[in-house]
Chain A
Amino acid sequence: MKKNIMIACLLSVSLCLHAAIETYQFDSPEQEARFRQLGYELRCPKCQNQAIGDSDAEISGDLRAEVYRMLKDGATDEEIKEFMVARYGRYVLYNPPLDKHTLILWFGPAVLLILGGIFVGLRIRQSKKALEGIDPQI
């Protein structure tokens, strides 16, 4: 009986554990869409692999509030991103711009793929040549 009461208590407690959901009022659906997009593209500085849009970290909430405030003030997406980069570094951008610091990031994989392709091609040619040298009669 005691056990049952305890279980009932525990269950009722867990029902109360709702995550805090912020409510923001937007001027237009476009503004809301921009807010969501920015929340998706800006990275939480505290948590490695989460965007501020889906992170429960305190700092993510602060940054969302800041994005909201700036959107309301009429800032452009670029201005908001610049604001965040000036404070939290390039790290906050999940969608890094193409510039000299991100060249390796953007083109590294393609360069590796091409180098690998060249290598494999050369190998195939070599082994073909080696095969040609063998008399098929043997």
Chain B
Amino acid sequence: MNRLMVWLPLGFFVILVGFFFRGLSLNPNEQPSALIGQPVPVFELTDLMTGERLTREQLPRQPFLLNVWASWCITCQVEHPYLTQLSKQIPLVGLNYKDTEIAAKNWLAKLGDPYALQIFDPTGRLGLDLGVAGAPETFLVDSKGVIHLRIQGEVNDRIYAKKVQPVFEMIQ
């Protein structure tokens, strides 16, 4: 009994330290999305490139990446070459978020357009329904339109291999 009383607080302390230590390595900016397992929200917007009406039904019928970007977003420019390369393996749908048509088109003309579809969302309405906090964000959506993963910030080789690929292989 006596010995237990001596070690119990220490054990407790070690457990707490373990929790705090884990907390140190968590990124507080990475929030779990509330939309995991949910379908892409209903929307009625236009295609940035053609100006035609665009709804949820026109999204690809196979797993794809929904990339939220804007011409004012520096990180989007950083991840753009990688996404371009990635678009050869997995369809890429763009969600042009709180941008202007001219700036967005110029951006694509300058850096290249790897997107299969480009949803134009100048007011950020669909962004809000998706729980987007800022650009870039990337969602992995399956063939039925259900969201499986959300990456906040840049998608690169490391993030793709670690987070996206395992889920992508699972839903394929």
| SS of A interface (majority) | helix
Q: Which residue of the partner chain B has the closest CB to A91?
A: B31
**Which chain B residues in 77-111 approach chain A with CB under 8 Å?**
98
Q: Which residue of the partner chain A has the closest CB to B29?
A: A48
List the one stretch of B128-136, B140-148, B162-170 in contact with chain A.
Answer: B128-136
Q: Please, which residues of chain A bring their CB within 8 A of the CB of B8?
A: 119
Q: Check A122 for interface membership: any CB of B closer than 8 A.
A: yes
| SS of B interface (majority) | loop
Q: Check B33 for interface membership: any CB of A closer than 8 A.
A: yes
Q: Please, which residues of chain A bring their CB within 8 A of the CB of B18?
A: none
Across the interface, A85 reaches (CB within 8 A) one of B5, B32, B34, namely B34
Smallest CB separation, B147 vs chain A (Å): 12
**B: contact size bracket:** 20 to 34
Q: Check A76 for interface membership: any CB of B closer than 8 A.
A: no
A89–B133 contact, CB under 8 A? no
A88–B134 contact, CB under 8 A? no
A59–B34 contact, CB under 8 A? no
B9-53 near A? 1/0 per residue, CB < 8 Å: 100000000000000000011011111000000000000000000
Across the interface, B5 reaches (CB within 8 A) one of A58, A63, A86, A126, namely A126
Q: Please, which residues of chain B bring their CB within 8 A of the CB of A66?
A: 128
Q: Check B122 for interface membership: any CB of A closer than 8 A.
A: no
Q: Please, which residues of chain B bring their CB within 8 A of the CB of A119?
A: 5, 8-9
Question: Which interface residue of B5, B129, B130, B133 has the most chain A CB atoms within 10 A?
Answer: B133
Q: Please, which residues of chain A bring their CB within 8 A of the CB of B130?
A: 87
Across the interface, B134 reaches (CB within 8 A) one of A58, A90, A123, A126, namely A58
Q: List 13 A-B contacts (CB under 8 A).
A: A48-B28, A59-B134, A85-B34, A86-B34, A87-B34, A87-B35, A87-B131, A89-B33, A90-B34, A91-B31, A119-B5, A119-B9, A126-B5
